[in-house]
Amino acid sequence: MPAPKTAQDILVTELKEIHSAERQLSRAVPKLSRKIGNETFKQKLNERREHGASVIEELDSIFDEMGVTKSRPKNVAAEGLIEDMNEHLEEIDDERLLDPVLVGAIQKLQHYCIAAWGTTASLGRLLEQQPVVQLMERLLEEGKRMDEELTQLAESEINPRMLEEDENESEELEGEGKSKGKRKK
């Protein structure tokens, strides 16, 4: 892709990067979903995938309206965040530890998207591209709501589960220690 030379070029670049991030995330979600233990988190992730598919369609329409070519370079920022998620999938076998890490990884990608949507909405306002502004403002609202829901889910269900399991393991170990101590008497 040639270097941007105008504000319009920068807007188009931002839109293409958003498109790429959404495509990459939609491809990554099925693999993530298979590893997630918390059903509510699975549901939220699938909602996010459906949301992304809708965003892709809406961006395609905007590209058509703007007369922009469909060539889209890969968004390296999103690619890096997704690679990080995939590393966690390979490294962490324990579901009680993996779910919280994946919530954080999804939120990192969501925060990237929120920043991109905000930047693009601002550029759209500057260039009086109302369809872009409307879409980006809606995405910002939906993205912030999804982020807050993930935070609430992590704090109320997913993160505490890590400690509950740790406490159970500690109690089991303590019980083993006590019974070993009794045998020595």
The average pLDDT across 8-26 equals 94
Count other C-beta atoms under 10 Å from residue 153's C-beta. 18
Indicate whether 1 belongs to any domain: no
- In a domain? residue 111: yes
Q: Model-level pTM?
A: 0.83
In a domain, 163, yes or no: yes
Residue 85 lies in a domain: yes
Average per-residue pLDDT for the chain: 88
How big is the chain by its Cα radius of gyration, in Å?
A: 22
- Say yes or no to pLDDT of 182 above 50: no
**84 is a domain residue:** yes
Residue 139 has pLDDT above 50, yes or no: yes
Q: In whole angstroms, what is the distance from residue 19 CA to residue 55 CA?
A: 8
**Residue 2 has what pLDDT?**
72
Per residue in 46-103, pLDDT (tens digit) is 999 999 999 999 999 999 999 998 776 899 999 999 999 999 999 998 889 999 999 9
Instruction: Report the C-alpha gap between 43 and 61 in whole angstroms.
Output: 27
What CATH number corresponds to the domain at position 134?
A: 1.20.1260.10
Band (113; pLDDT cuts 50, 70, 90): very high
For residue 177, name the pLDDT band (cuts at 50, 70, 90).
Answer: low
Q: What's the domain count of the chain?
A: 1
Q: How confident is the model at residue 170, as a pLDDT? A: 52
Q: Does the structure show a pLDDT above 80 at 167?
A: no
- Asked, for residue 2, whether it belongs to a domain, the answer is no
Print the domain residue range for 153: 7-184
Assign 3-class secondary structure to the chain.
Answer: CCCCCCHHHHHHHHHHHHHHHHHHHHHHHHHHHHHCCCHHHHHHHHHHHHHHHHHHHHHHHHHHHHCCCCCCCCCHHHHHHHHHHHHHHHHCCCHHHHHHHHHHHHHHHHHHHHHHHHHHHHHHHHCCCHHHHHHHHHHHHHHHHHHHHHHHHHHHHHHHHHHHHHHHHHHHHHHHHHHHHHHHC
pLDDT at residue 181 greater than cutoff 60: no
